[in-house]
A = this chain, B = another copy of it.
Amino acid sequence: MIGPEGMPAADAAPAGGETVPGLDRSLIEGLPAFAGMRPQELDRILAGAHAARFAKETAIFEQGAEATSFFFLLDGHIRVVRNTAEGQQVIARYINAGELFGIAAAIGRDTYPASAIAAVDCVALVWPTGLWADLASRYPGFGAHAYRTLGQRLQETQNRVMEMSTEQVEQRVAHALLRLVRQSGRKVEGGIEIDFPISRQDIAEMTGTTLHTVSRLLSGWENAGLVRGGRQKVTVTDAHGLLLIAEGRRKK
């Protein structure tokens, strides 16, 4: 985990945050997105960025807004949300520390296709969109990593379409939980806990169901000893058992 230590607080920062002088290359060196770069290249990349804090439950950018920046999450967890014309919302994915996000520029868009909400207090690097082409071409490894990320997200999204097409709600929720603990899990005694606050409603919006159904399923699983619930908290205590449900091979 990348801590915000030494990061000057920029409370109530405007979207895009405030410029923070003296970003240290140790923040990003060794991370996959910046692999294989020499120290002075890292400095050059950081020279175009500033760091910003985003308080829990604030929007980092909004769906439909002009894509003025792209981001790299240093610390925290972000919820990417899409709103339908009718006002319903769907959670597209969660972003973890170490991932690029808001890279509309990379795919030639000029507005953000979704909103990004800080699930907890977050710290991110922010670059102006105009720097994308420059960075991607000057540091091919960086661009390649970004496009690989994009490809992975496309594939994950298609997996989700497949799940929604072929599986029952119970299996989809189980799959979603397993994905969450794999991508954002934190070991605690007795299981793996999802590392950020997540409500039944959130899980419902990830799986295309209702909070009622999610609540019922979690209650049942808790009785069966597969998970432990809590307010905006889920701990998986028997990942293997949950996998059986996810794959529809449960006994009953």
Contacts and interface: CB of A to CB of B under 8 A. Distances in A.
Interface in A114-171: 114, 137, 140, 144, 147-148, 150-155, 157-158, 160-162, 164-166
B84 A144 contact: no
Nearest to A106: B147
B166 A165 contact: no
Contacts of A154: 107, 150, 153-154, 157
Contacts of A205: 165
Interface residues of A, number: 38
22 contacts: A82-B162, A84-B166, A86-B248, A90-B166, A92-B158, A92-B161, A106-B147, A107-B147, A107-B151, A107-B152, A108-B147, A108-B148, A147-B147, A150-B150, A150-B151, A153-B154, A157-B157, A157-B158, A161-B164, A161-B208, A164-B165, A164-B208
Contacts of A247: 85
Contact of A151 (B84, B109, B165): B109
Given A86-B248, A164-B165, 8 more contacts: A82-B162, A90-B162, A104-B151, A107-B148, A109-B151, A114-B158, A157-B157, A161-B161
Contacts of A109: 151
List 4 A-B pairs, minimum CB-CB distance, nearest first: A107-B151, A165-B208, A108-B148, A164-B164
A76 interface: no
A158 B165 CA distance: 14
Interface of A: 82, 84-86, 88, 90, 92, 104, 106-109, 113-114, 137, 140, 144, 147-148, 150-155, 157-158, 160-162, 164-166, 205, 207-208, 247-248
